[in-house]
Amino acid sequence: MKLYGLKNCDSCKRARRDLSMTGVELEFIDIRQEPPSREVLESWLAAVGEAVLVNRKSTTWRGLTDDERAMPALSLLAANPTLIKRPVIMLESDVHVGWTDQVRTALGCQ
C-alpha cells in the first residue's frame, strides 16, 4: 500500500497511524519531496475525478490567480502538488482520497 501526502498533514498522520495499527505494509511518499508523475495524476483523475482530487479549500488554491484556477486539473496538479487532496492511498489498483469514514472502512480501519 502506498500513501501519498505531506509529512506535516494531520489527516496523513492519522491515516499512517491507523494503517500501521492494522499491520499493513505502508510506503509513505511525501508529495512535496517526490511529486507524482503526470501518468500517476492521470490515473488518479480517471479513478476519482477532479472534484475529489483537487483541494479547493487549501491555502495553495486561495493563492492561485483566476487564470491558474482555470488550468486543466492535470496541469494544475502537476505544477502544484500540494493542491492534491490528502492522503491519496493506493492499494493495488484502488485509489482512495482523504481519510473519511468511508475510506477507513474500505481499508479495514474502523
Full DSSP string of 31-50: TTTSPPPHHHHHHHHHHH-H
Q: Give CA–CA dist 48/15, Å, rounded.
A: 19
DSSP label of 86: S
Catalytic: 9?
yes
Rg (the chain; Cα; Å): 14
1, 3, 6, 9: the catalytic one is 9
**Do 97 and 68 contact (CB within 8 A), yes or no?**
no
| Residue that the C-alpha cell 509529512 belongs to | 7
Q: Which are the catalytic amino acids? A: 9
